[in-house]
Each structure stands twice: as C-alpha cells, then as structure tokens.
Structure 1
C-alpha cells in the first residue's frame, strides 16, 4: 500500500493543457444547476461540471461536449466522494452515454454508476467516441443482451483507469465490459470482478488489473480482490487485498510505491488542508516542490492560501507535476470564502513526517502570482522546515490578527522569519511564519474556559507582545505592534490589522500650536518630556504644567475635555486628572497666541479609542489627511461607525449624506466626532498626493461668519429650489433679532453646510442661541445681489428649526422669490471683466429665450442659452478666457422681447 494516494487534479490538468481550456469555467451541481444534464447542456469545451455528494436519478449524455464531469473527489482527492456521489438508473434506463464523437477530453471521474438497465451498455454506452473514465465504481447494471457495465461500439477507444467494474449482469454474455465493431478500449489499474457472466471481449486491452477468470495482459491477475462487502456496495480493499500496490505507475507520476487497483485507494490520511469549492478558480501547475532543498516527499500536502490566511485549495504531492485549483470568492455568499481578483497567492506545505506546516517560497515559471478567475500559473515551490518556536495548541477561542506589514531597519521580513505573540507571562499564544512580501494572517489563542488550573493563552484585555525570530541571523527581536484597525488587546472573536516594526526611538521635537482668540479645538501629536508629568501620575501629562506658558501670560480662560471636566486657571481650578494624549480639548484664549511643547513624536497610526456618542479626539499624523466627500479619507477606518465629524470652526463631514465642507485634518487641531458604537481609530497613511480639499474662497462676505462660541449644531441645507444658485452664494441662520448665528457657503452641488452657534454663557452678551431657541434662513445670491428668504419644506434629519447643542439636521428648502412682472436682462457684473462675468435675466412666463454673445462685427462668439426657460429669475455666466480683449455684445430675445448690452473684456 502506498502511504497516500493522489489523483487530485491529474484529470484537471489533462484538460487545462488543451488550448480551449484556458478559460474553462466550473459549473456546480446542484447549487447552480439542479441536474448534471442541465450543467452539461450549458457547458462549453474544457469546462468542469462539479457535482456535490448525493444520488442523481438521471440518464446523462455528454452531447458531444469535451468537458470534465466530476464529483468532489476531483477537487479533494478523497475517495469517499466516489461512493457518496451516485448516478442511478433505477432499473429503467441507461445511466451514462457518449454517442456524439467525444474525445479523450471528455472525462467522467469520481462517481458510482449503478442500476442501469437497457439492451446494450446499461452502465455506460460508448459509440464513435473515446472518452476518459477514471476512479469509477460501475455496479449493479443489467443488459438484456451485452455490456452490463460498459459497452463500446463503432470505433470507440475509451481509456478506463482505476475503475471498479463489479456485480453487473448481461442476459447474453460480456457482462462487465464489451467491445464491438473495431472498438478497442484500454483498461489499466482496474478490477473486474463478480460480473455475471464474467467473460470479456478480446478486443479490450487490459493491463495491471485484477480480472475474474483471467485475461492476457501485462501485470494482470486473477485473485479475489477482498472487497469490504461487495454485496452491500462496499468496494474498499481490505488490509490483505492482493490489489494493494499492484498497479502501474505509468502516466501517474509516482516514484517508488505503486497505486492500488480499482477506484478506491487504501490508507489515505485525513486531509490537513480544508477549503471550500466555489464557482470560479485559478489553475495552478506545481512543476516542482522541494523541502529544505530536497525533493518533496511524495504525498505531503500543498495548501493554497489567501493573504488573510484562508485556505483556498490544496492537494497531495504526487512526486511529479501536480495540478491544483485556487478557488475564488463566491459573490453569492456573505462571507469571504476564496480569493478576490488580483490577490497574492500564498502556499504552505504540510510535512506529514513532522506534522507541521512549512513556509514556502514560490518561484513562478509561467503566469503571475496573483489570483485571476480562470487564470493559469506554473510554479516551483521551495519549502523550509527549520523552526525556532513550536506552534501553540489551539484553544476554544481566538483573536484574529492580520500583519499588514513587518519591517526592521526599513527592510521587510524575509521568508522564513517567524512571528511570535506572547502573553505578559511569556507564553507563546500566537505564531506565524512569514510567507509573503507584505502580509499574513493567523490566530492568537485565548485561555480555554474549561481548564481552570492551566493558562493556555491570553485573557480578556491582555496586551500583545510581539517577537520576531530572524531566520538568517538567528536572533529574537522584540517588535512594536501598531494597530491599524481593531482592538489592540486580546478580545475573543475580534479581528485586528497590525503593522510590526522596530520603530526606533525618535529625537524630541518642539511642537508649536497657534491658537486663535476665542474658542477652538486643539490636540498634540507628541509625548511631552518628563517635565510635563507630575510625580504621582504616569497616564498622561499634568494639565496645569502643560498650559503654564499660557497661564503665565494670562491668556488661557478655560479648557475642557469631552466629558465636561475643565481647567480654569483664573479661578485656580482643575478637575481634569491628566492630559489624555488620545483626546483633543476645547480651549478659549483671550488673544491670538501660541504655545510650545517639547516631546517625542507619536506614531501617526497609534490607536485612538472612541466611545459610542461624542468624542473630542487628537490628531497624531504629522501630515494632512483630506476629509472631502465621498472618500472621507481621514476617517476611512471607522467610516461605517462615523455619524458626524467637525472641526473647531464648525465645518463638518456627514458621510450618510455624502457631504463635507471640512478642510484636511491638520496637526495640533482637535476634532469632535460622533460614532454609533465603541470603535478604535487608526489614522491612515499619508496619501501619495494630497489634492487641494480646502474649501474654495469666494469674494462674497455679505454676511461675516460668527466667531465660534464653544458649542454648535450643524445644519446641511441639502437643496434650495425656486432659484438658480451660484457656487459661493451664502446661507445665513438668523436669531429672532435678525442677528447671524451661523453662515455657510453654497458648494458646486448647490448644497450648504453651516454651524449654528450656541450662546457662550461665559460672556456678558448674547452671541448665539439658547437650547430650544428658533432660527430662520436667508440666502444671499451673488448674481442677484440680494437677500432672499428661505422656507424649509421638509426635514431629512430633525423635525423643527430649534437649536440643540451638538445635534445636526438636514433640510430641504425653497427660495421665496417674487416672480418678475416682465422680461429683463440685468447689467453684467463685473464689467469690465478679465475672465468671467455674470448676469441675471427675468422671465415673466415660461417661454423660449436665446441669449448670445457677439463681437463688434456681429460675429457670434458664444450661445449662453437657447431654449425654453421657466418663469422666474435666472443666472448666466460668460467665460471669456478663450477670447481676446475687446468690446462684446450680450443679446437676449424672446418672441415678444429683445434687448442687448455691452461688456468689456480686459486682459
């Protein structure tokens, strides 16, 4: 008996090397097609019909399709699927037919064919065809004339390999297999036993097979195969069967031990690598495989893995070239169960002798190392078995880690380096071998609940300690783990993305924060020097020591955190226990000023924990991050939880409504964010090129933006109907006295976000709204040069125009515009102009209107509009960038009205 059998994907790659199979598809039964025949009918040459275990009551006809029809044996190498995947004729019909000139690329593999009944070829009937039949049990079929199991006629030359033909009957003769009319089937490594009558046509070419009654041919025998229980359909070979190791290695690539005879190989191990079969795959030909520079022992396993550590394919090494499939993600499922397009393909080897997984360095000799549906790659695998640590034993709970990057001295880990994750007591509870250029996923194990006296892993909220084993220099290096996503402490069932590195100590720097007079939000991105810490508090710097520079100049009025604790030096009061470096602060100063601290830079991606609801957070990067819609780059890691974010000037991002008027996040600024659940924020890396996302400035200061008061609500005016607006128009929120309490600028989409400020109770005057106080909106139109009342028509968020601290609303509005009594064309502004000028025109009724620009010679320069316009006021723009300086004429005409005006372009 050989240690393991392997026919895994041998047939697959017989098909793949055909020209038409490069773009083969996998058709799944019954997931995509209820019947095998339905899948065959929908297939094209080179496709694979993959059949799940079950009993299929069908008469299967290949219909001239040169395809592979297979059970899961084809994908797993597990012979159990041969007995569990049955095509049954139920005594009323033939089971399988090849009658349309199919060739050797028509493959049937991994089934039990039984209970067929017809005159000739009850199990399998072959006419004018030469298919390939492998790893089949053909049993209990009855022919009223000949060929109970298999019948071949009219120049049919099929190949049968590892086939068990047993227990078939025929009323005339040749019950097992019969060949007629110039047909010459080839049978190898098979068993023909217990058929009645047992005689076989002399046209059949048989070798290395066990044939009841004997048959001339190399390696043939006539001995009881010692089935498990043939009467009950158990055709497994028992321990002393003479058919074990009696086969031929010709064509199978085996070295040393020989295959067994028949469909069912003995002594197969439990498969180590398990994976799901989906509806798409990438074909891989393993040309060679070594382990520690020696040829890989036959029947060790090769596994195919995604970068997240998901097994997506595999099989037993057969001592020669091996065909495998890397299975892609099934888009019909909610979980990721395979590769996504362009994902890097990784490999592992299961060393059966040591019972360990080995890292693998792939060298591609054909195709690419990235997954492509229906793609193909050829690869040489180099495995290594030298290990520094023993992998920890799995427990009943774990925390998944994805090491996104790992580097030392700016160089990535080498293949073969090891990553260990240790508890505070030095217990190894997570382990991986670096097997990629960029990332790897693995589990960190928690302490098992059922073993109270033994600690096998992490306990809840315990910190991770990372250690790297350098394979080349044989030294352990303690690493720093920076959590890009997910919890930074052990959390059962959680998932985290980590960046590993040495991150050597950085030199202290001076950090300068410039503060505007009044209220703002600020934070720091350095860990201040020891002089800023008090002796009895090491969680963070001391607030009065941190703010001493300002208090010594009497410039600090108050600073407060997000839970209402505050420092008021004028009253010598402080109840902020320490400066939490992950938090931002609201601060009020008496004049424009600056403050300087000395400290070591905090790494940009250091984790910031956020609690459900509102948080004032620090900004750690030393670079800017954009926050414009629709990407909201700065908050991508928490975008699913982010409700609203705003800066100290009340500018805000509202992902649900795809809106942002926030400029890029900037060092020393603090930010106010509201999240739907507890979450951790790790700021992303700096973008390759930061596009300008600062809100555009416009020459429109009709209303001056109120100064921040330390608290506000945010309003998104989502739409303004009834008027044509221009980018740069203003929307103002007015209190009952007509004083502005918030001003915003209309963007290019016609929307406007504004902060409506609450009253600052620390001042002696009213500078904002009180809770519950109402307000109203007005629009200032640049083109019309007039203020226009806005009426709220509906609330997308909120229900009334009343102020509430730290709330937000989204409204739909309309302009309360008086309809023109006549047609008109207003003077252009500016005029003269050097690039662009605007003008308005009025329509007393809906009508067709033409507005055109001419030069002084009457030549048409531009058509502004030419069509039907609704009654009302309209805005038009003329762009003169592409024409030369000079005098031009704007002409407007309707059926009943015409006018013109001069404009002067000066460059």
Structure 2
C-alpha cells in the first residue's frame, strides 16, 4: 500500500495481513517525506496495531506516527504476537496508560531500524518502548529521546521474560532512568550512546556515555520536524558497529542514531529570497543531480521543508547540481546551478546557498474610459492574481487628461480584465508580459450594462409658487424623463447602474443627486428632492468666484440629498447672485501643510453684481435633514474678478455645553463659540451668589469682585477665544453650569501651537473641539510627530519614540482643557465625525490599579510628572499585587501610579511649589501599606525621570509581610490518571503549603506543608 504525503486522521489495524504499508519515501528515500506523511491517531487509541498474528513480517515504513492515546498498551504502535518490520518512522507525542508510550511489544519479535521515538509518555513503564511477555525486540540505529513515564524505564523498559538487542542507537535525555530491566528481562547493548549507562550490566562493547550533540541540542519541545540530526563534532559519528554490514549510505562506518551524518557526497541548501511570500514553500524545490561524465541526470531529491537542506550520496566524480521550482516557472535561483567535485571519503559542500526569488515582474499599462456615469478610479483591472485601479493623469496646468492604470504581474501570458458594477466587463486575452518590461496600450472602453431599472421618490416645492406636476425629472444625458403626480410622487424608468437624477422647474434652482444605484428590474426608493425658488437674477456685469465650506452645528454641509447653497444681495430671496455647485475633494486654497485633514468637498459658486467693488453679499444654506433654510454668519464684500475662499458657519439653533464644576480649580474648555465671548457674559450665571472666584489662561487671569460686580485683572484678558483652554477657580460647586453658542467644526479651526527654542517647556493651554471622547492617538494624530507631552488636571501622557503615547491620560474628553508641549511650530487639528467611528473605537481607558482605595486630591491648579523605577527589597514591584501612590505631609494623595513597560508613571497634582512629597506602596495581598523615606519636591509643570532613566524608589519593608511571588506549573498528566506530577517554584525561602481541592472547593489533600529554600520543586501525587 503506497501512501502519498498528507495528514491522515485514522487508526490502522493490520488485521493479520502480512503487507507492506509505505510512504513515497520508498520511491526516492527522501527523508522529508517521512515528516510530510503523518498518521494522526486523534487520541482515539493506538495509532497502529499488530495483534492478529502478523507473523509473516508485515512492514511499516516512512511515516510519522503521532497523537495516539490508549487506556491500554502502546500509544503509538501496539505489537502483539507479530514479527513486524518497522523502519524509517518518527514516533512522537503519543501516550498510553499502560506500558509503552511510543511502542508496546507483547509476545512479539519486531525489528525496528532507523527510527526516532521521542516525546512519548505513559503512566506505567517504558516511555519510549516497553517489551514484555516473552518478546524479543531488535533496535538498530534508533534514537530514543525526550520520553517520560511515571514508573520505570523512561527510554526503554524490558519486562517479563523479554529480551532486547540494541545496536548503533542513542538513548538520551529521557530522564533519570533511561533503561530499565526487570529480574526476568534482559538487554544487550553494543555500539550505542546511553545516558548514565556507564557501569550498567547491559553497557556492552562500543557503548559510550557522551552528549550526542543533536543539531537542536537546546530544544526541549519535540516537534514533527525535529529528527535529531547530529552536529559535525558529535561523538556518535563513525562510532557504530564497524561491520561493513552496517555502513552508512556514504560508505563510512556506521553512526549511532536514526540519522547518519553524511561524510561522502554532496550537500547544499536552498533559502527563500526576500521577495518570496508565504505561498513559496521549500518543499516544492527539487534538486537535480547530473553526472558530468555521461551528461545525464542520475538523481533528484527535494529540500527539507523547514531548513532547505539537501544531500546526495554519490561515488567520486564531477557533478552538476541544479534546483527547480516544481509549481511553476515564475521563480529563479541564484546561482542558476553549481558544479561539485567529489573525492572518495569526503563530503563536498556547495560554495553557495541557492536563493530562490520570483522573476522580476512585468508591467501592463493602458487607459480606461467609461462611456456612462461613474468613477473610472473604481474600475478593477485584474490579471493573474494581481489587481489595481486606474488613476487620473493631469497636464501641467492641472487639467485632467485621462485615466491610466499600471498593473504589475508575473511574467507570462495573461488575460487582462476590466470590471465595474453596472458596466459590461471587458477582457483582453493573451497579453504577453516579460520580466522587467512594460506591455503598453492595453486600453479599455467600458459601456454601461443596459438593463432597465426604476427610481422612485417625492418632489417638494419649498416656500414658493408653482405646480409640482410641472417638475421635470431626468437621468443622465436626459435619456429618460418623467414628471410627478399631484402629490409630488414620481417613478422614473432608467438603466441599471449609477445614475445622476436631476429635477428642474422654472424659477427654481435645479437639484441633481449623483450616483444613485439602480439594480436591474428593481426599484430604488426614497430618492426625494426638495426644490427651492432660488433663481439667479439676469443681466449683471461683474463676477467673482468663491470656494467655500459650510458648517452647520459643527459638521460640514455636504452635497448630499437636496442640500443647497446660494448667495444673495440685499434684496433677499429675489436677489440671488449665485447658486453653488458641490465639488468633492480639497479646493485650491486648502493648504495641506496647515490643514491636516482633507475636505470631503467644497461649494464652488460664481457670484455676480452690478457694482464692481464693495457690495455686501450673504450666504444661505438648505439642509435636507432638518428641512430648513439657514442664514449664515458674516457679510462678504464683492470684488470683481477675484477668487476667494471662506469657511462659513450657518446660523443655527444655539448649542449647549454643560459643565459639572467642583470647588477650587477646574480645567475646562469650550467646543462652541458664544455669540458674546466676554468673560462677564459667559460666566454671568456664576456671579449671582457668587460661585466663581477666578478664570485663568496661561500667564493672565481675571478675578470676580462681588463688591463692584466686575471682573478685575489683566486688561488684555476680557474674552474667551477659540482654541484656548482655561482654569476656573470656584468658591462653591455648581453641577449644571451651561455655556451657549455656535458649535465649532474641528477641521476648519486648527489651533496654532508655537515653539520657542529659548524655553525649556513650550506649553500651550488648548481646548478640545470634538463632541465625543476620543483615544489620545486619534485626537492628537495631526501633531503626533511634533508633540512631546499633553496633560489635563490629573492625568498626562508623553510620546516615547518607538512606543507612542505612554502615561495615565488615554482618553481626551469634551469640556476638559489640556496643556500641550511641542518641539516645533505646528497646528493641531482635531478630527470630526467623518474621521472616526461613532462610538469611537479603542475607547477603553487603562485601569489604574487602586486596591488601596486612595482618593486623589481634587481641585488642584497644576501638576507635575514623575517616571520611577519602583522596587521593594530589591525586587521589581508589579501592578497586579501592589498600588503605588504619592502623598504630601497632610497625607493627601497627590498621584496614583500606572505601571508602564519598565517603569511607573505618575501625574502628581498640586497647588504650591515646594511641597515635600513621598511614595507609599500598598500590598493588596496582606492589606498593608509601607512608606518610603526619600522625598521629592513639588514643582508644577516639571518632569522627573524618563523611561530610559527613571528615578529610583526603593522600599525596605519587613520581609515577613511581603508576599513572595510563587509559580505553580500545570500538572502532568491530567489528574484522572493514577498519578500526576506538580512542579512549583519559590523565589524566597519560607513555609510552603501545596494543597489539592475538588471542584466544590473542598480540601482533598495537603501535599506539602513545610519550610522550603528558594528553588524549583517537583512532587508526585
């Protein structure tokens, strides 16, 4: 039975048949095929069973036998009354309750050769192999390593009148008892490497007790591809039986173990190049050997799938070695081939590793044209497994020339396809592509897919005369037309695809809704349109143009639905001077170096006048969502032939922002702009009692005087200003203070942050515009490369190169003011809702461990930052068991630390410089606090320490009261077995108790209850 490479989930019973079951290893003796052909027992009994009298030598060769589990004998292979031949096997990770984790032999005489038995286990005897009941087992060139048992013979157990012949083998790293023989068992070992075998009765001629020096000598975990090859300096090389009968494939004296060390022949290696992706596998590289004397191919092998190594055992002579990637011809090797000269008794290693890389890709280029409505950049161009989209090409003046694509693809001949929803796809066949060359002029012209579809909606005439039934509704190019009924409802038959729908009526501004999706033979509903009786006056002689954004309630009014923008003169609705057109993208005056975020689009308007300069014009905006027309702030003077830009705000219902103000200091900011920005007006409701004492911004302040009912202080500080953050000192708490005003759009209101090289700290007090809390990374994305630090009243964060933001400030919130420090001039632009999800993602605040229940001092005016290395009795303090705080002499908590990578971070609040502060540690295990004698001095806005050089804080505490970290490893095997083993570690000497409880929490048994020195321990139960 020939089995091809793969993993087979099954359990095999030879059922008395004397047959040969082999992998394709027998075809070319390629060792990698052993690890590629796996019989996986799925923990459902022995993987392979011989128990039906197979005494005519059945054969099993070239497999990996794994994942067997049986409550009986032989987790990997069970031999009962058989003379089976087992060769070239990897028997690993199997388990039996009774004898023989890897192999169990009962009344059998198997011959096992050139096999690895590793990582197997049993609850009884013989972790690797157990022989019992008059068995006579022969082991030749077998490696038995890293096996385990709970009783006797972790490598080999010979029991009950059984005998084992061991030759040219390695028994190593199985544990304290490599080989066990019972009183009636016997083993004869010759020319084998047996750990701790010196002096044992079985330790016969040629045996050694030396480290075999496996290639993966440090590996403790047995893996499918770990075959225990020998290093060059292994004592097992040429140490086997000198009888030529056992010589290695290269003709040298036999080595010990399953895999000999090739000493005569050719050896080389293939490695993956940097341009290879995960689809390229070393196991698909075939190495072809040519005899130069006859100029014929004489052998081939496949690379090791993990290491890429390969070898040939050949006679002396001259050879040529050439690799080939068998999947396709799109890969090359460097070097292309190599020559090798083999001398008798020597191993020739090729001069260079073969490096496999894909051939240089070629480039397909062409133009794309859509004959209907749609976006050329949405067209998908594909060939082979590559795809791309077209891009616009402009002339020197910025005018669009055409849309072009560039598709990189492997060399070969390909069919190139262009597709777009609602369009007929197009394929150009047999396009040749050459390495590092361009195949050009592969152009596409796509026509709309011509299928009928329907659009339904309602037309509304707002605030004007006229008959709705006279409205004309058309699709693109006016191919289809319809009119509403008396209620305004319409149904337009059109073509499937993306359609632009336009509604027109005399004396009304036309409205076009773009890119309405229409499916074949289906109706797209609710495409409602509102028409406004805005009509440009004729006969004016002067023009100017404007690029504008319109903000309503803090958000952009975009060209969606029936949204409309127009400009009017002093004559009101009958004096329309221009109707704006929506254009997607940034306008020409939008500076990307100053404005971090792109615009969704802008309103382009041509304005007219009969007065050459100076006439004041006003904007109006219609918002579909609220079905309202809004006037806009500001008068805009007309100047003939000028181009201008403006960020315009619609006059909308007043926004409200509410604050919960506590006594003493509050750090606040406004995301709206009051109509009256004077401090007297904004804080008027707090002066009645009065509840407010002082308002401060950076180095200026003003104080309310209840006697004169006026604000006294710096004469330059009388108004609040957009972008600024403030500190407000309250006499009494007020939980419902409200501010009223116009909501601000973060995108059009950058905050300038100035840098002065003469200052150590460049602090600016800023507001927070977004109406939603945001992660600090999202909120400050626009200045991430310029920012050093940001903080609010009781938390802060700083930028660490390579790590991003660290600190106890992780979420920025509406209503709070912030102080930011930058390293160069920049502009902070907060995102609006176009640039983050609702609710924002990654919004979990980092929890600061405060098991002590300490309450942070509130209402402070300033803070400082400290980064510290905290140790107790020279041990690093973790955040799971300990809380660290900073306290003053009044025992007020000034900060609760947050554990970062390698240090503790503290934002320390305060009012007066010069306060002496000290650290406290709270142990949540024994509910005890400890103080540190060293002190730091409070100084606002300073920073002590940094992540690379934190300040050192050492607690010297009573060790009897400190919890020593303990480690209890997972027991093995599971406790449903007769015995199980626990491993545990203690880092300090002391009394140790190890107890077992059942699932109900009831004590089953106390295994350990005694004084132990600091060490690692193992106990059986």
TM-score (norm 2): 0.36
Structure number having the greater strand percentage: 2
Q: Which structure has the larger Rg?
A: 2
Structure with the bigger RCO (C-alpha within 8 Å, sep 6+) is 1
TM-score (norm 1): 0.40
